[in-house]
Structure 1
Amino acid sequence: MAFQPIPLHELLLLSLFNNEYVVSKILNETRPQKIHAFMPVTRLFQRMFDLTGYQHQHNTRPDCVRNVLESSPVALIAWIYDKYVEWSDQKWCKFSEQQQDTYCSPKGTNNLTNQLVWDDVITTACLYFLNHRVRSGIDYYHKNLGMAYGHFLRTKTPSTIFFAISEFEKDPFAAVNVHKYLSHLYTNLVYYRPHPFGGHFPGFEHPRVLAKDIADFLTIIDV
């Protein structure tokens, strides 16, 4: 069963159809530019509708998707390949040699995108297939997607919890102004660093950058 529409989706749809008056009343915001800054709808819908179809399939047809992926390693590799390519930074970054050593993973002849290589796809597929974890990977979406897009997006964390954001420009979720939105939920934001490169998989694409962000965050909170 698909998850029920939640207020955030309804606001996005209203904004999509230029119903700024209704949206402004709900958000208690009368300045259109503020609404657009909070909800960049054109960019959001263009990217998110294109890239999140797999979530809807996992959520509404988990058995069908699972049976296909469990029966064929090739199908699983293709499924993972699509996500890695589409959700990563597909533009080649113009780094100097020194910056390459600082920010990037070693390049090879089997690169899929700027920093992702085939080994990443094969390794991930093996972890799922050989350990029989396709079912649990799909069930995660089927059982939790409603909460992720509903309860999670409306729940504020206690101010005692430290929070950090490491934002990579080509991550599709960057389209929703992650920093502005999450700062409403996580009030104790002590670290924010945007990067003009990288996608949804910084651990693969730019592991050194992500590691430095984590280390800097831990330094701030004195851990």
Structure 2
Amino acid sequence: MQIHPFEIAIADQDLDELRRRIRATRWAPATPAPAWQQGADPGWLRELSTYWAEQFDWRAAEHRLNQLPQFLADVDGQTVHFAHRRAASVVPGLRAYPLVITHGWPGSFFEFHALLDQLCDPAAFGADPADAFDVVTPSLPGFAFSPAPAQAGMSAFQVADLWVSLMHGLGYERFGAQGGDLGAGVSIALAAHHPQAVDGIHLNFLPSSYEPAIGAAQQQLSSAEQDYLREKSDWAALEGGYAHQHSTRPLTVAASLNDSPVGLAAWIGEKFRAWSDCGGDVHSVFSKDDLLTNISLYWFTQCIGPAMQMYWENRLQPMRFSDGPRINTPLGFALFPKEINHPPRSWLERSFNVVQWSDMPGGGHFAAMEKPALLAAEIRKFFRPLRNRTG
């Protein structure tokens, strides 16, 4: 596997073009609806966009991103961008534990900047230095600096195959996996298809397509499971339009979002507000600079369309295990209160070997950014007994 160092270097002309496009925005007429009821609030969007064009310092964000050791690798014919941060220090006689963490949409590898500090240098935060990790955070194919796949079929299961090849190429024969959103699906696929390489998986989200064995009779469902399925259906009907668009007509919406930075900011920014534990004030959790760093990665790499492609592929290859065997790889789950779905433990136990379950005190869908210390503590706790499997 060929690996080359990588640094982000966006051209000045691309920065100038971004600002020009923002300033030339033709703003959509407002409606009489209350703020945020029908999507991104126009006032908030204007404020964020003005900041993006006039005050946001991409060069500072770029410098910050480049503090992470980044690489490009040819993995089974697919170019994969990834950050690889090794443990700051290792206890004598012990090895840092290898962990691959996978992001989702509308996130990116940038989501993990604070979490990596916690995982790679636990002693700096008062945690046990024996819990240090070597962490690999790849960009999903079609996201950021990982080019879109040349061929159709790149669902979570195929990404899992790539991640095993990547980790083996880095010298990690056995490792752990963690993820939320699309990354949760990749982590599940790793456990399902590569138990010989994956010691355990830790999740902070359950893919909506996950379907365990429930039998023919609905009476087999517990009341908690029935409530969960109703909640999931209600959420999809009111909030899931973006996912239906991504998974059925991605090119139609991508044509607009790839052309309009303000449209892209609305499409992504609204989700950071709706899915986080922010009490309606998105900037109480995410600074404008952090929010725009993530959105800018989508803009400069023109990846919004390729990123949607994974929704199309996952629809064709959903997470359904009703006809398959149980997945015995240990699983840990952190349920954050403002996550977009709230499965009961029994729903996962129908297919998985759930060995750790935690109801978290705060946080939402973007747990690595919202509550990095809480998530890191859960990850350390889950993988502590599994570390000796790496040899």
Residue 27 (structure 1) shift = 3.7
Larger Rg: 2
Structure 1 residues 171 and 215: CA distance shift in structure 2, 3 A: same
Structure 1 residues 128 and 153: CA distance shift in structure 2, 3 A: farther
Consecutive unaligned residues of structure 1, counting only runs of 5 or more, are: 1-5, 9-22, 93-110
CA contact (8 A) 1:70 1:129 kept: yes
Q: What CA distance in whole angstroms lies between the structure 2 residues aligned with 1:37 and 1:121?
A: 35
Residue equivalent to 1:13 = none
Aligned partner (choices 377, 380, 383) of residue 212 of structure 1: 377
Residue equivalent to 1:70 = 258
CA contact (8 A) 1:128 1:134 kept: yes
Give the counterpart letter for 1:90 in structure 2.
C
Q: What CA distance in whole angstroms lies between the structure 2 residues aligned with 1:154 and 1:72?
A: 44
- Asked if 1:199 corresponds to 2:367, the answer is no
Provide the TM-score with structure 2 as the length reference: 0.41
Give the counterpart letter for 1:221 in structure 2.
L
Structure 1 residues 192 and 154: CA distance shift in structure 2, 3 A: farther
Q: What CA distance in whole angstroms lies between the structure 2 residues aligned with 1:216 and 1:136?
A: 35
Aligned partner (choices 320, 342, 348) of residue 182 of structure 1: 348
Q: What CA distance in whole angstroms lies between the structure 2 residues aligned with 1:211 and 1:139?
A: 30
User: Per-residue CA shift, 1:152-178, capped at 9, x if unaligned?
Assistant: 67655531x12110110110111x33x
Residue equivalent to 2:52 = none
- Asked if 1:36 corresponds to 2:223, the answer is yes
- Asked if 1:164 corresponds to 2:352, the answer is no
Q: What CA distance in whole angstroms lies between the structure 2 residues aligned with 1:27 and 1:50?
A: 24
Sequence identity percentage: 26
Q: What CA distance in whole angstroms lies between the structure 2 residues aligned with 1:47 and 1:181?
A: 18
Specify the SS of the correspondent of 1:163: strand
Q: What CA distance in whole angstroms lies between the structure 1 residues aligned with 2:385 and 2:349?
A: 18
* Richer in strand (by share): 2
Give the counterpart letter for 2:225 in structure 1.
F
Residue equivalent to 1:128 = 298
Residue 71 (structure 1) shift = 0.3
Residue equivalent to 1:59 = 247
Give the counterpart letter for 2:346 in structure 1.
K
Provide the TM-score with structure 1 as the length reference: 0.69
Specify the SS of the correspondent of 1:44: helix
CA contact (8 A) 1:120 1:204 kept: no
* Richer in helix (by share): 1
Structure 1 residues 173 and 127: CA distance shift in structure 2, 3 A: same
Residue equivalent to 1:101 = none
Consecutive unaligned residues of structure 2, counting only runs of 5 or more, are: 1-208
Residue 44 (structure 1) shift = 3.1
Q: What CA distance in whole angstroms lies between the structure 2 residues aligned with 1:74 and 1:153?
A: 42
Give the counterpart letter for 1:181 in structure 2.
W
Q: What CA distance in whole angstroms lies between the structure 1 residues aligned with 2:333 and 2:210?
A: 24
Q: What CA distance in whole angstroms lies between the structure 2 residues aligned with 1:210 and 1:193?
A: 10
Q: What CA distance in whole angstroms lies between the structure 2 residues aligned with 1:80 and 1:113?
A: 14
Higher relative contact order (Cα pairs below 8 Å, separated by 6+ residues):
1
Structure 1 residues 114 and 51: CA distance shift in structure 2, 3 A: farther
